[in-house]
């Protein structure tokens, strides 16, 4: 409690002080006694005669003198005391006014701190304040501390100061309360006096500032932000704990930082700081520090100059931000942007950058570019699962990376392909080193105990084949790879110019076939199947043809395999079915007895799990029934998904369709399939029939096939019969039907009607 407030209060504020009320009486008593005693002694010392001493007039003179002296003394003392009293009262009034102005509330209470009363109340409701004081309306969070302070003060009779939240105005606000005891002459506490000041705004502002500082500190720590100040005049560097953590050491001067800055970055840092100091400009720079604990960190330092009035008073302030994590992330993303996440090999983006640089170099003329593909990788994924497939890719990538030289390049080019560029060591045999590379990666792979043997096909091209145009070189390698896959898997094919023409033709036909289906350029012809015994019409085979306005007549030998490879075969089959359905309806409407028409099932229909069901729905849509069609398929369709193919054929057979096995003898089907696939007709491929006249071996094969088929009650159809000699031999061996140019070429529906009329 300030002493000015304390001096305004006493044990009884309505009575004068002891000094002011008792001192005149004491002075009079002392003076009177002293006068009586000392005046007679003084007269004796003067040797005044006794007769004179006994005279009444002398005693009267003595008394008058006493009155005069005491009156003068009283006057002087009263004047002095009055002046002091006036000054004290004035001081007390001034102090009281100051106190009342400085404090919002002055209160007093009894010695036990139970009954509170208001002495002064500024801008507050006295009744509400008195009620609050007597009912202890203190914030629950401050009540415990306030109680402890009061208990200590009551016990030790000492003043204290508290800061607490009080509800004096209907809401809790922060108040500073200076409390002191008022004692009597014996030192006993007779009451307590308190002066209360509203410090709510200051406290809230201080707490807000503290929170902001704490948030700034936490943010700086969380964001690895160090704060520094450099007094250039004193050459003193003041830094935060975070900045010292960044370098792992205490920093007092700018020179202390030099030992931690990476030697390759220090010249740039020094030049930046000198420029900022010279021109008083803001700066920003990134550099590496090698901390005392051995770590290398990336730091972003940003600062500016303050107090530019004089050179000696300049200060530079700034922040030091640890951006190591950001740099690592940037490096990671940079790596991911240029590398395959599965194999960690460079990806296509990196490949393009590398090839551009390499093609511009002098080494490009002596380099070979190859694309390597894992044979049947999709099937490996289907059989063993994607995890095994991914492990295989990673192991192949590791082997490739191990076996290429430092100057060579290898990247992941596609899902199951890798691109390799290496120098040509043997000009006469450029693929020699490539063959060695493929041999090294073709060895068995151990994948979680599974010994997996993988095959590889590849296409090669020299980088100067297209005048160092790397994109054209890649296209050439892709063409060569496609040739390897189509001719013999596991082989290496070196690009030749003729391959580009074949590839261009393939792409042209593919593109035109799309449009041909949309523009109805495809049409159907019919080739009769004849009974050998009586030359009657046993049926027709529906064959698709294509006359392109751009390409002319395109052979089915060319566009049917292309349609199967490109996924267009189902669309082509739909066109054929529509034509068959339309033609059967037309012939029946005109009164013809229409024999069964053979239709070739597409591989996709047979290899899909629900292929037969979808095909039956399609037939129902076009109004075709089992008696209208003979469904043909080739032996090669059984190679893939044999069980699925067999089930689809069984479903079709159960619905009453007759099944014919086409091109028998050219595929890989076993004789067991003749039973398992519910076949009713067997078509011997024309490549055997064509040679039966001139080759005893072929004649024996065909005769054996006919005999075998008849023994298991299958009808036999010979394809490609072109001569009477061939027909006579087939008739002699017991062949049921024949098909070929000896009877008729495939013909338009109008021409086929004469065979219907003859029937």
Q: What is the DSSP string of 368-395?
A: EEEEEEETTHHHHHHHH-HHHHHHHHHH
* Overall size of the chain counted in residues: 759
| Tens-digit pLDDT profile for residues 460-487 | 988 776 666 788 888 889 989 988 888 7
Domains of the chain in start order, with CATH, are 3-99 (no CATH), 103-205 (3.30.450.20), 223-329 (3.30.450.20), 345-495 (3.30.70.270), 508-681+747-758 (3.20.20.450)
pLDDT at residue 553 above 80?
Answer: yes
Question: Which residues neighbour 217 within 8 Å (Cβ) at sequence distance 6 or greater?
Answer: none
* Mean pLDDT, range 142-155, rounded to an integer: 87
pLDDT at residue 596 above 90?
Answer: yes
The token pair that represents 747 in the structure block: 């013909």
Residue-level pLDDT at 465: 61
* Mean pLDDT, range 214-226, rounded to an integer: 69
Distance from C-alpha of 305 to C-alpha of 231, rounded to nearest angstrom: 10
pLDDT level of residue 22 (50, 70, 90 thresholds):
low
Distance from C-alpha of 411 to C-alpha of 431, rounded to nearest angstrom: 19
Instruction: Using CA atoms of 27, 28, 29, 33 in order, give the dihedral in degrees to the nearest 10.
Output: 110
pLDDT level of residue 410 (50, 70, 90 thresholds):
very high
pLDDT level of residue 8 (50, 70, 90 thresholds):
very low
pLDDT level of residue 7 (50, 70, 90 thresholds):
very low
Residue-level pLDDT at 425: 64
* Mean pLDDT, range 673-686, rounded to an integer: 82
pLDDT at residue 72 above 90?
Answer: no
Residue-level pLDDT at 639: 63
pLDDT at residue 367 above 60?
Answer: yes
The token pair that represents 552 in the structure block: 């002319």
Helices (H) and strands (E) in the chain, counts: 27, 26
Q: H/E element holding 263?
A: none
pLDDT level of residue 154 (50, 70, 90 thresholds):
confident
Distance from C-alpha of 640 to C-alpha of 510, rounded to nearest angstrom: 24
| Tens-digit pLDDT profile for residues 554-591 | 999 999 988 988 889 999 999 999 999 999 999 999 99
Alpha carbon separation from 504 to 255, 475, 550 (Å, rounded): 70, 11, 15
State the helix-helix crossing angle for 432-441 and 386-403, rounded to 10 degrees: 140
Residue-level pLDDT at 56: 60
Question: Which residues neighbour 352 within 8 Å (Cβ) at sequence distance 6 or greater?
Answer: 470
Residue with tokens 């739909």: 574
pLDDT level of residue 432 (50, 70, 90 thresholds):
confident
More confidently predicted of 187 and 620: 620
Residue-level pLDDT at 358: 83
Average pLDDT of every residue of the chain: 82
| 3-state class (DSSP) for residue 308 | coil
* Mean pLDDT, range 88-113, rounded to an integer: 66
Distance from C-alpha of 640 to C-alpha of 148, rounded to nearest angstrom: 92
The distance in angstroms from the start CA to the end CA of the chain is 133
Q: H/E element holding 96?
A: helix 56-102
Residue-level pLDDT at 261: 87
pLDDT level of residue 394 (50, 70, 90 thresholds):
very high
Distance from C-alpha of 6 to C-alpha of 457, rounded to nearest angstrom: 105
Alpha carbon separation from 454 to 24, 68, 228, 396, 491 (Å, rounded): 128, 142, 62, 9, 13
353 HSE (CA, 13 A, CB side): 8
Distance from C-alpha of 241 to C-alpha of 249, rounded to nearest angstrom: 10
Question: Which residues neighbour 5 within 8 Å (Cβ) at sequence distance 6 or greater?
Answer: 95, 99, 103, 106, 178, 180, 193, 195
| 3-state class (DSSP) for residue 717 | strand
Distance from C-alpha of 520 to C-alpha of 527, rounded to nearest angstrom: 21
The token pair that represents 212 in the structure block: 């902001």
Residue-level pLDDT at 276: 87
Nearest to 468 by CA among 421, 428, 431: 421
pLDDT at residue 83 above 80?
Answer: no
Highest-scoring range by mean pLDDT, 60-64, 203-207, 215-219, 407-411? 407-411
pLDDT at residue 10 above 50?
Answer: no
Residue-level pLDDT at 12: 44
Least trusted range by pLDDT, from 57-71, 500-514, 696-710: 57-71
Least trusted range by pLDDT, from 95-104, 423-432, 439-448, 717-726: 95-104
Under DSSP, the state recorded for 124 is S
Distance from C-alpha of 598 to C-alpha of 633, rounded to nearest angstrom: 10
Highest-scoring range by mean pLDDT, 45-54, 57-66, 210-219, 696-705? 696-705
* Mean pLDDT, range 216-221, rounded to an integer: 66
Residue with tokens 């302030």: 317
Q: H/E element holding 183?
A: strand 172-183
More confidently predicted of 114 and 577: 577
pLDDT at residue 523 above 50?
Answer: yes
Q: Is 294 exposed, middle or buried (0-12, 13-18, 19+ CB in 10 A)?
A: exposed
Residue-level pLDDT at 15: 44
pLDDT at residue 737 above 90?
Answer: yes
Nearest to 637 by CA among 604, 612, 615: 604
What percent of the chain is helix, strand and coil (3-state, nearest 5)?
50, 25, 25
Strand partners, 633: 661
Distance from C-alpha of 601 to C-alpha of 613, rounded to nearest angstrom: 13
């Amino acid at each position: 409690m300030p002493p000015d407030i304390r001096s305004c209060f006493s044990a009884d504020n309505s009575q004068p002080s002891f000094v002011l009320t008792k001192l005149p009486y004491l002075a009079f008593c002392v003076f009177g006694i002293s006068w009586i005693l000392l005046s007679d002694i003084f007269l004796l010392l003067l040797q005044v005669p006794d007769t004179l001493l006994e005279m009444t007039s002398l005693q009267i003179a003595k008394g008058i003198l006493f009155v005069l002296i005491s009156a003068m003394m009283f006057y002087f003392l009263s004047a002095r005391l009055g002046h002091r009293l006036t000054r004290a009262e004035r001081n007390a009034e001034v102090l009281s006014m100051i106190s009342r102005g400085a404090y919002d509330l002055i209160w007093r209470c009894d010695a036990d701190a139970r009954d509170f009363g208001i002495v002064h109340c500024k801008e507050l409701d006295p009744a509400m304040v008195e009620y609050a004081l007597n009912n202890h309306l203190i914030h629950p969070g401050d009540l415990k501390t306030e109680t402890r302070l009061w208990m200590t003060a009551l016990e030790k009779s000492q003043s204290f100061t508290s800061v607490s939240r009080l509800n004096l105005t209907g809401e809790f606000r922060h108040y500073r309360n200076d409390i002191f005891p008022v004692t009597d002459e014996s030192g006993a506490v007779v009451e307590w006096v308190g002066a209360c000041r509203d410090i709510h705004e200051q406290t809230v502002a201080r707490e807000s500032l503290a929170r902001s500082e704490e948030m700034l500190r936490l943010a700086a720590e969380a964001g690895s932000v160090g704060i520094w100040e450099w007094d250039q005049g004193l050459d003193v560097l003041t830094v935060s704990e975070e900045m010292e953590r960044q370098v792992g050491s205490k920093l007092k001067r700018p020179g202390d930082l030099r030992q931690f800055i990476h030697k390759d970055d220090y010249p740039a840092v020094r030049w930046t700081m000198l420029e900022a100091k010279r021109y008083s400009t803001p700066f920003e720079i990134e550099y590496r520090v090698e901390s005392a604990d051995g770590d290398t960190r990336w730091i972003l330092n940003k600062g500016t100059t303050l107090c530019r009035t004089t050179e000696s008073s300049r200060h530079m302030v700034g922040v030091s931000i640890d951006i190591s994590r950001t740099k690592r992330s940037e490096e990671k993303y940079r790596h991911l942007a240029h590398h395959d996440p599965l194999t960690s090999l460079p990806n296509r983006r990196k490949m393009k950058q590398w090839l551009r640089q390499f093609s511009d170099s002098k080494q490009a003329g002596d380099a070979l570019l190859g694309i390597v593909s894992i044979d049947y990788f999709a099937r490996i994924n289907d059989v063993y699962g994607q995890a095994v497939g991914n492990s295989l890719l990673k192991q192949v990538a590791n082997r490739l990376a191990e076996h290429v030289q430092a100057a060579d390049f290898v990247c992941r080019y596609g899902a199951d392909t890798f691109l390799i560029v290496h120098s040509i060591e043997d000009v006469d045999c450029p693929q020699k080193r490539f063959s060695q590379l493929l041999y090294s990666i073709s060895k068995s792979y151990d994948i979680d105990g599974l010994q997996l043997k993988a095959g590889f096909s590849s296409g090669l091209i020299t980088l100067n084949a297209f005048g160092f145009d790397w994109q054209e070189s890649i296209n050439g390698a892709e063409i060569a790879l496609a040739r390897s896959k189509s001719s013999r898997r596991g082989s290496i094919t070196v690009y030749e110019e003729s391959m580009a023409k074949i590839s261009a033709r393939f792409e042209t036909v593919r593109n035109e076939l799309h449009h041909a289906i949309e523009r109805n350029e495809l049409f159907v012809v019919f080739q009769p199947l004849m009974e050998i015994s009586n030359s009657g019409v046993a049926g027709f085979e529906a064959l698709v043809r294509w006359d392109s306005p751009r390409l002319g007549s395109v052979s089915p030998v060319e566009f049917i395999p292309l349609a199967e490879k490109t996924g267009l075969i189902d669309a082509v089959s739909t066109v054929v079915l529509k034509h068959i359905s339309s033609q059967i309806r037309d012939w029946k409407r005109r009164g013809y007895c229409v024999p069964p028409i053979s239709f070739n099932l597409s591989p996709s229909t047979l290899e899909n799990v629900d292929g037969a069901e979808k095909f039956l729905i399609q037939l129902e849509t076009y109004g075709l029934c089992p008696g209208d069609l003979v469904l043909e398929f080739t032996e090669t369709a059984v190679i893939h998904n044999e069980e699925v193919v067999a089930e689809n054929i069984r479903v079709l057979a159960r619905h009453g369709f007759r099944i014919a096995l086409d091109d028998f003898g050219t595929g890989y089907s076993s004789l067991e399939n003749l039973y398992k696939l519910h076949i009713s007709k067997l078509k011997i491929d024309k490549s055997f029939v064509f040679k039966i006249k001139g080759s005893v071996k072929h004649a024996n094969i065909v005769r054996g096939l006919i005999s075998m088929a008849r023994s298991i009650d299958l009808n036999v159809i010979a394809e490609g019969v072109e001569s009477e000699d061939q027909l006579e031999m087939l008739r002699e061996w017991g062949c049921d039907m024949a098909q070929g140019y000896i009877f008729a070429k495939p013909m338009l529906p109008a021409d086929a009607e004469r065979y219907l009329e003859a029937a």
